[in-house]
Structure 1
Amino acid sequence: MHENPVPKPYIAEFEHLGFGMFIHWGLYSQLGQGEWVMKLRKIPKEEYRQLKSTFTAEDFDAKAIARLAKLAGMKYIVLTTRHHEGFSLFDTLRLSDYDAVHSPAGRDLIAEFVEGCRSEGIVPFFYHTTADWYQESYVNDFPAYLAYLQKSVEILCTRYGKIGGFWFDGNWDKSDADWQDDVLYGIIRKHQPEAIIVNNSGLHQQGEYGHPEIDSVTFEQGRPKPLDRRGRSKYVAAEMCQTLASYWGYSSIDFQYKSVKELILTLAACRKAGANYLLNIGPTATGKIVKLQEAMLETVGEWVRLFASALYTAKPCGINGHGSDFGLAGEDAKLYFFVHDLAVSGDWNVTVPSGGVGPRTFTGVDKRIRSIKWLDNGEELKFVQDADSDLFTFQATGYPYGVDYVVRVAEATL
């Protein structure tokens, strides 16, 4: 046991990815009612299966999706190779005919996905369900089903080159079953030794540690908390996954979109906790990205580009301010201070009070600071540091009129 375990290099690389895109896409997308529509609408299996005959993927453009991720500042994409409905987007090599190759699409969409990611420098990850509503063996012959699952994962491990990792989901459906995790994870370690292994603990077990081979815990739809790794035999990363609207899969009637402001606040909160942020989109029936989702991601990307040096490799270091304010330790003797609720400067006739301009105080700064400036415009800021009282305060000037970043970041040089 180690008091403070050190991350393995591939886990540290995963943490440095910081921000990723989740994509839920399958037969359910044609119904436009979310990814659980088969289960919740109690659609008979044989009726649901007919959706395969209209699955064309005619608008699926993996390179365009990877370019969108890149514009958003996302470093990796997790795509549903198979969701709970049991339909696969990859060539299952005769394990089943319930896949994209045997649909009107007639293509291995995962091969296209991997190629598209690599063309834009994005790391491809594979989501794969463990629960399956289609395979009879899942209910009637669980050992046979596990063999099917393991062979499916081996195909994904061996036919697409090096991948970033596997994102499993569904063990919660049979919480008392023997899932033969040693066998499943052993297949991955044999063929993809540095692949990140995630097994989603679900909405009700956020941040829960699992099998020793798990490399990252999950926080589904919930703000992550810093992990207490003391006494752990292995350093495990953390990741929050969240929907852009209400559903993971495409819904044609879903107006519950989060604001760009909320997305920025959540990304900042994830980095404060040392967690990655995995933000989901749901392509349409044909694989097209909804214009609103595309525009929101591009807008978030504009914020990410301004403050990129503070987002990917900077790590929590015990610096805390008032309210949501916090600090991260960066590389090359830099500290980054994230400031929330900052007011806009301007004439009082047009400026609506929205927060504080003036001193922002932080504790936990244990090194002498030489200078501090806003990352976005380079404006030097006045500061005082009282090491004896563990207080560091700088004068946070307001946004210039016409500007509001939601969260503004200052860079301090040591």
Structure 2
Amino acid sequence: MKKFLILLIMISGLFCSTGFAQFKPYTPAQSNLEARNWFQDNKFGMFIHWGLYSILGDGEWVMNQQNIPIKDYDKLEGFFNPVAFNAHDWVARAKAAGMTYITLVTRHHDGFSMWDTKYSDFNIMHTPYHQDIVKEIADECHKQGLKIFFYYSLLDWRRSDYSYWTGRTGKGTGRTEKGNWQDYIQFMKNQLTELLTHYGKVSGIWFDGYWDQMPEESKDRKDTTFVDWHIQELYTLIHQLQPDCLVGNNHHMTPIPGEDFQMFERDIPGQNAHGLSFQKVSPLPLETCATLNDSWGFTLKDDHYKTLAEFVRLLSGAACSNANLLMNIGPMPNGLFSEPFNQALDSMGTWIKTYGQSIYGTRGGYIGLQKWGGITQKAGKVFLHVLHTEPSPVTLADFPHKKIRSAYLLKDKTPVSVQLNNGTLSFHTPPVSAADPDAVIVLEVE
């Protein structure tokens, strides 16, 4: 019986509940609340996945997918020398596209740090490039008026003190020693402290990899983990160092106390096209992250780039769902964006000059996305984003405004006929095309 009890305790210890009862209450600072409001107003960011994995041209998961041993993967340090990289140009291109913040991968699952860290020898200063890329991009964001967010992987395929023996990935990289999990937690605290004290104002920390210590995503998955992530300690550290820094975690589950925004991977909130977003939409600020082709990190054979219409539908669809769009770029190992990325960003920049007022400073409409499109709104205005032309008039019940003073197309002020009777709005959808994929109708309302 005694042996049975000991075994039961050991088994139960493998699963650490993330139930809210174990966390202390989190009260965000006033500056944090103001930062959340900025985040929701500004709607559009650039995600950048770039690192040693870019050299191999097979995505950011190449170490795991090809089971590359650590001793072999480490050789990539000697090849990383992005002679064409120019931080000013990257930030300027994001700004010209209408993006207002950049989320930079500082350390991905392969464990390589893109900054001059004192807590790992596996970092950018040991490459031929030998310059702090995080500093270069952060400095340019500050100069050009964009906010900087740092992506940081909780998961590590290289360190032996990461609990790889309980995790779902990184089994084939050659680790045999089982290090001390507490050492790994301290290592992350040390690195996060560097990121939050050496690079000026940091507007957000974007965590990933928490799911590695959880069962596979499914509608029945419980919010339990195989290890104690000490996650609230990490969140508390961040908020102590920079109280207005927004914390998000791509764990594909209900937000944990201490988080300031909720993200959805490859999905608009409320949808689950990719089998990762079973979580409910929370009251926190929301963000959709997506890719401009089919890959996060540079993938040599991935030529499936999104059209302008697909790009616009993602941005407008996210805004209509009260969310931001974080659109990913996977730069080439030489430090350049591939030309289709440049073309897509330029086209979006042109589009946003005309339609930006229907995106920035708005909140999602009183109904969610419909077959024809969706709604954004701000004080005194409702924007009907027509993404698909319907043959019959659209009717919207329970329209929340009593009077429509005027209705017109945003692009050229052409008047549009709409009817509002007993709280039901009806209108004909204008035509949309590949060149003009979102026919925005502006309703000035009372």
TM over 0.5: same fold? yes
Does structure 1 residue 339 correspond to structure 2 residue 339? no
Distance 1:398 1:41, change over 3 A: closer
Partners of 1:321 and 1:24 in 2: CA distance: 29
Q: What letter corresponds to residue 143 of structure 2 in structure 1? A: S
Instruction: Identify the residue that residue 314 of structure 2 maps to in structure 1.
Output: 266
Q: What secondary structure is seen at the aligned counterpart in 1 of 2:207?
A: strand
Does structure 1 residue 371 correspond to structure 2 residue 402? no
CA drift at 1:8: 2.5
Instruction: Identify the residue that residue 245 of structure 1 maps to in structure 2.
Output: 293
Instruction: Identify the residue that residue 190 of structure 1 maps to in structure 2.
Output: 240
The percent identity for this pair of structures is 31
Contact 1:319 1:364 in 2 (8 A): no
Contact 1:63 1:115 in 2 (8 A): no
Normalised by the length of structure 2, the TM-score is 0.81
CA drift at 1:398: 4.2
CA drift at 1:337: 1.1
Does structure 1 residue 380 correspond to structure 2 residue 415? yes
Distance 1:228 1:318, change over 3 A: farther
Distance 1:254 1:403, change over 3 A: closer
Q: What secondary structure is seen at the aligned counterpart in 2 of 1:288?
A: coil
CA drift at 1:397: 4.7
Does structure 1 residue 411 correspond to structure 2 residue 442? yes
Match of 2:205 among 159, 163, 166: 166
Deviates more, 1:155-164 or 1:320-329: 320-329
CA drift at 1:51: 0.6
Match of 2:147 among 100, 118, 123: 123
Contact 1:87 1:98 in 2 (8 A): yes
Does structure 1 residue 20 correspond to structure 2 residue 45? yes
Deviates more, 1:46-55 or 1:173-182: 173-182
Q: What letter corresponds to residue 149 of structure 1 in structure 2? A: M
Partners of 2:434 and 2:287 in 1: CA distance: 30
Does structure 1 residue 97 correspond to structure 2 residue 121? yes
Contact 1:322 1:362 in 2 (8 A): no
Distance 1:264 1:298, change over 3 A: same
Which residues of structure 1 form unaligned runs of 5+? 343-354
Instruction: Identify the residue that residue 348 of structure 2 maps to in structure 1.
Output: 300
Match of 2:365 among 281, 303, 317: 317
Match of 1:276 among 313, 324, 328: 324
Partners of 1:320 and 1:153 in 2: CA distance: 37
Partners of 2:161 and 2:58 in 1: CA distance: 27
CA drift at 1:119: 2.5
Partners of 2:83 and 2:193 in 1: CA distance: 28
Match of 1:219 among 251, 257, 264: 264
Instruction: Identify the residue that residue 108 of structure 1 maps to in structure 2.
Output: 132
Partners of 1:317 and 1:280 in 2: CA distance: 26
Q: What letter corresponds to residue 303 of structure 1 in structure 2? A: W
Distance 1:322 1:222, change over 3 A: closer
Q: What secondary structure is seen at the aligned counterpart in 2 of 1:146?
A: helix
Q: What secondary structure is seen at the aligned counterpart in 1 of 2:301?
A: coil
Contact 1:218 1:239 in 2 (8 A): yes
Q: What secondary structure is seen at the aligned counterpart in 1 of 2:315?
A: helix
Partners of 1:228 and 1:200 in 2: CA distance: 13
Normalised by the length of structure 1, the TM-score is 0.87
Partners of 1:137 and 1:397 in 2: CA distance: 59
Partners of 1:98 and 1:308 in 2: CA distance: 42
Contact 1:63 1:119 in 2 (8 A): no
Does structure 1 residue 86 correspond to structure 2 residue 111? yes
Contact 2:42 2:100 in 1 (8 A): yes
Instruction: Give the number of aligned pairs.
Output: 382
CA-based RMSD of the aligned residues comes to: 2.3
Which residues of structure 2 form unaligned runs of 5+? 1-27, 164-178, 215-225, 272-278
Instruction: Identify the residue that residue 16 of structure 2 maps to in structure 1.
Output: none
Distance 1:100 1:403, change over 3 A: closer
Q: What letter corresponds to residue 140 of structure 2 in structure 1? A: G
Contact 1:127 1:168 in 2 (8 A): yes
Following superposition, which runs of at least 4 residues in structure 1 exceed 6 angstroms of deviation?
Answer: 226-229
Match of 1:133 among 142, 154, 157: 157
Partners of 1:220 and 1:38 in 2: CA distance: 21
Q: What secondary structure is seen at the aligned counterpart in 1 of 2:103?
A: strand
Distance 1:117 1:364, change over 3 A: farther
Contact 1:322 1:360 in 2 (8 A): no
CA drift at 1:256: 2.4
Q: What letter corresponds to residue 415 of structure 2 in structure 1? A: E
Q: What letter corresponds to residue 202 of structure 2 in structure 1? A: I
